[in-house]
Amino acid sequence: MKKTCCDELFSRAKRVIPGGVNSPVRAFNGVGGTPVFVASGKRQKIRTADGRTLTDYCCSWGAMILGHARGEIVSAVKCAAAHGSTFGIATPAEVDFAERLVSLVPGMDMVRAVNSGTEAVMTALRLARGVTGRTRVLKFDGCYHGHSDTVLVKSGSGVLTMGASSSAGVTPGAVADTLVVPYNDLTAVEQAFAAHGDTIAAVIVEPVAGNMGLVPPGEGFLKGLRKITKNFGALLICDEVINGFRFGFSSYSALYAGITPDLITLGKVIGGGLPLAAVGGRAKWMRQLAPTGPVYQAGTLSGNPLAVAAGLKTLDLLAREQPYGRMAELGSALAVGISTIAAEHGLPVTCQSFNGVFTPFCTDAPVQDLADAKACSTALYAQIFHGLLDRGIYIAPSQFECNFISAAHSAADVDAFLDAFEDVCAHLEPWDEA
Ligand SMILES: *Cc1c(COP(=O)(O)O)cnc(C)c1O
């Protein structure tokens, strides 16, 4: 294959794609430098367009839980493609896929397939508003729920805040419909319900926050949300687009939190690397979707045969191989190693991890919400990122993201990561705290 240079690709890309990328984080604005363009991937490795091989800890934000280009998944997709890519007509595999999710996720009586996590959340929110007749949604600062209007809102100052838009083009009406409180702050949720309870349709939460870096829920936080929403007649939506099937072979809510949400959104892992996501939950809510109910939702490519084939095959392989214990062990070895090495070098790095997902936060203190995360040194993170990249390791190009170990990663990869990290720590330049 012809060798291309990432710099040249980026110049070409910037002329025809805004910022040169199809999703902002890929532009490396958080760390500087020229973004990586991937030519191919196999198992835990990716090959860049200029011919470098990197060990990948992004794994498409966790979607590639079995590693890249897994043979059985490639075959399943090829086979599906050979039988027709899309019909706009129902197919048998969609039924298999829905039955599989319903059998694996407690509280998911019915499920609808969509094309992205963004869509799954949009549908969940519309459904919550449709069935409650209420307008507001409460979300947590630093949790990401895709790029639809009402969830592109960040908190202003103060504990209980009406949000401010975090994007141009979001109407004041959409912002007014969104309440934002700090993650892990049950008191703030109680205050929000005390003030606005009769107008809140739903609380939406990432059970383990994954979009400000990895931030686990505090003791009692998720159970508390379940109780408050129930008391006030609001729906609890667990956005498990990252969490679901990532920490174990079901939802986080069922496996670790011991709660049953009203609605659950899934994405990333369940699509096996193709555009596929889902929203599901209690039948009495799900039946309110069109065509049985008044809440409209649709999609030309929803339940797409190629995507469903990749998703089903991924679930088959996960069921058979159950890689979760191994990924968790590798993840904790990595996290402990990172924190230990950083401490030896007197660096403020706290690596938070859970079951193979980790974030090296450049701060001394544990991170429990977005305010803690914002205290991190992004300048130090940028140096760590580029130091690792120079040594053949690709981590998230932003401090405020998770990194993912796949079933294809090995103990040797963890050792190589820690050796590289040690070397990076030994060669850091002074950094600005700005
Ligand atoms: C990735 C993500 C989304 C959005 O999914 P897309 O497929 O990128 O639209 C929504 N919620 C959470 C928690 C996510 O991590």
Supply the pLDDT for residue 160: 53
**What is the edge-to-edge ordering of all strands in the sheet holding 53-56?**
38-42, 45-48, 53-56, 393-394
- Residues 220 and 231: their CA atoms lie apart, in Å, by 16
Cβ–Cβ < 8 Å for 273, 60: yes
In the chain, the amino acid numbered 345 is H
Q: Determine whether 69 is exposed, middle or buried from the number of CB atoms within 10 Å of its CB (0-12, 13-18, 19+).
A: middle
Catalytic residues, which ones? 144, 239, 268
pLDDT for the residue numbered 5: 87
Longest dimension (CA), the chain: 63
DSSP secondary structure of 101-162: HHHHSTT-SEEEEESSHHHHHHHHHHHHHHHH---EEEEEET----S-GGGSEE--SSSSEE
Instruction: Give the Å distance between the CA of 39 and the centre of ligand 1.
Output: 24
Residues 64, 38: Cα–Cα separation, whole Å:
14
pTM to 2 decimal places: 0.97
Q: Is 404 in the pocket of ligand 1 (CB under 6 A)?
A: no
Q: Indicate if ligand 1 lies below 6 Å from the C-beta of 210.
A: yes
- Sequence length of the chain is 434
Exposed (0-12), middle (13-18) or buried (19+): which is 167, by Cβ within 10 Å? exposed
Q: Which residues contact 409 (CB under 8 A, 6 or more apart)?
A: 44, 55, 67, 327, 330
- Rounded mean pLDDT for each run of 10 residues along the chain, 434 residues in total: 76 97 95 96 97 98 98 98 98 98 98 98 98 97 94 71 80 92 97 97 98 97 98 98 98 98 98 98 98 98 98 98 98 98 97 98 96 95 98 97 98 98 96 72
Peptide bond into 291 cis (omega under 30): yes
Q: Distance between alpha carbon 240 and the CA centroid of its chain, in Å?
A: 8
Ligand 1 pocket check: which of 122, 205, 238, 268 to mutate, most ligand atoms within 8 Å of Cβ? 268
Please name which of 89, 70, 84 lies closest in space to residue 311, comparing C-alpha atoms: 70
Backbone dihedral region for residue 310 (phi beyond 0: left; psi -120 to 50: alpha; all else: beta): alpha
239 ligand 1 Cβ < 6 A? yes
Cα–Cα dist 138/186, whole Å: 12
Neighbour tally for 22: CB within 10 Å: 10
pLDDT number for residue 166: 83
Residue 271 Cβ contacting ligand 1 at under 6 Å: no
Q: Which of 59, 65, 115, 118 to mutate to test the pocket of ligand 1 (most atoms within 8 A of CB)?
A: 118
The C-alpha atoms of residue 404 and residue 217 are separated, in whole angstroms, by 18
Scored b (16 or more CB within 10 A) or e, 281-312 reads: bbeebbebbeeebebebeeebbbbbbbbbbbb
Tokens 């009586």 correspond to 109
| pLDDT value, residue 161 | 58
Measured from the CA of 121, which atom of ligand 1 is nearest? 10
Distance CA 409, CA 397 (A): 20
